[in-house]
Amino acid sequence: MPHPCPVVLVLGPQGSGKGTQAALLADAIGFDHVSTGAVLRHHVNRDSPLGARVRRCLERGELVPDDVMLRLVEAELDAAEHGVVLDGFPRTVDQAVALASLASAEVVAAVVLTAPLDVLLDRLTRRRECPGCRATALAPAGYVDTVACPNGDGIAVRRSDDAPRAIARRLATYDQQATALLAWCRGAAPLVTVDGDRPVLTVLDDIVAGLVRHTSRIVPPAAVCRAVQAVAP
Ligand code: AMP
């Protein structure tokens, strides 16, 4: 695509609904959805050389080194057609600064999803992912190991980084980085903060409405959702 690639960042703690909302938002505005966590898990599952390098970081809930992440993100931006909804990157100010310095990226807005800690923990302990199609489903309780894939594609299982110790480490890492990262984002692009502890489509409505209000770079197709119809000319 012609450079620079317009980028919408989706930020928030693990379990705030970033993956779900980023995918829906990308569909709504005609951008590609790039989840750095999903790209890394794909490499781990295929046992590629990159997968072998990052497997331990993912299993422990630790951050993958910045140089690896930046190369991966740059390749995804180069491959995008219209723009990218970036989910899972940046995680730190260093990553944000590195992203902003890429000639191939133009950060047009950042969305921040929030949810109370008990909601995050509940979602993460019950989250199951289909190894085949990557769809996620919530188990009825944390001790239920597997559920049917919502796409009928087999069995959804607990992600290795959703083990209780890894969850605690990932949420702590997010907390350590969040204040500085959000401050950086606020200075770099319009920031749209949305309460993620509500029904999925209500959250999506607010995200799209907030983006339309704050940047002219996002043009959602008409009739995507209620709020867009209310806000768009
Ligand atoms: P996620 O699915 O976004 O929670 O990411 C899963 C795991 O992938 C994280 O716990 C990290 O090990 C790794 N990861 C994803 N994005 C990044 C990033 N921006 N920087 C470093 N590590 C990352």
pLDDT in tens, 27-64: 999 999 999 999 999 999 899 999 999 999 988 888 99
Quote the pLDDT of residue 61.
Answer: 83
Quote the pLDDT of residue 220.
Answer: 66
Helix (H/G/I), strand (E/B), else coil: 29: helix
Percent of the residues in the chain that have a pLDDT greater than 70, as a whole number: 93
Cα-to-centroid distance, 108 and ligand 1 (Å): 22
The minimum-distance atom of ligand 1 relative to the CA of 35 is 3
Quote the pLDDT of residue 2.
Answer: 55
The minimum-distance atom of ligand 1 relative to the CA of 58 is 12
Q: Are 98 and 70 in contact (CB under 8 A)?
A: yes
Of 138, 99, 108, which is closest to residue 20 (Cα–Cα)? 138
The mean predicted confidence, pLDDT, of the chain is 90
Cα-to-centroid distance, 54 and ligand 1 (Å): 10
Helix (H/G/I), strand (E/B), else coil: 138: strand
The minimum-distance atom of ligand 1 relative to the CA of 38 is 2
Is the confidence at residue 225, as pLDDT, over 90?
no
Residue of 63, 73, 87, 169 best suited for mutating to test ligand 1, as the one with most atoms within 8 Å of CB: 63
**For the segment 80-113, what is each residue's pLDDT rounded down to a tens digit?**
988 999 999 999 999 999 999 998 899 999 999 9
The minimum-distance atom of ligand 1 relative to the CA of 65 is 21
CB contact burial 198-221 (16+ within 10 A = b; e otherwise): eeeeebbbbbbbbbbebbebbebe
Cα-to-centroid distance, 233 and ligand 1 (Å): 38
Residue of 64, 95, 127 best suited for mutating to test ligand 1, as the one with most atoms within 8 Å of CB: 64
Cα-to-centroid distance, 38 and ligand 1 (Å): 8
Is the confidence at residue 219, as pLDDT, over 90?
no
Is the confidence at residue 146, as pLDDT, over 80?
yes
Q: Are 166 and 157 in contact (CB under 8 A)?
A: no
Region 109-132: what's the mean pLDDT?
A: 95
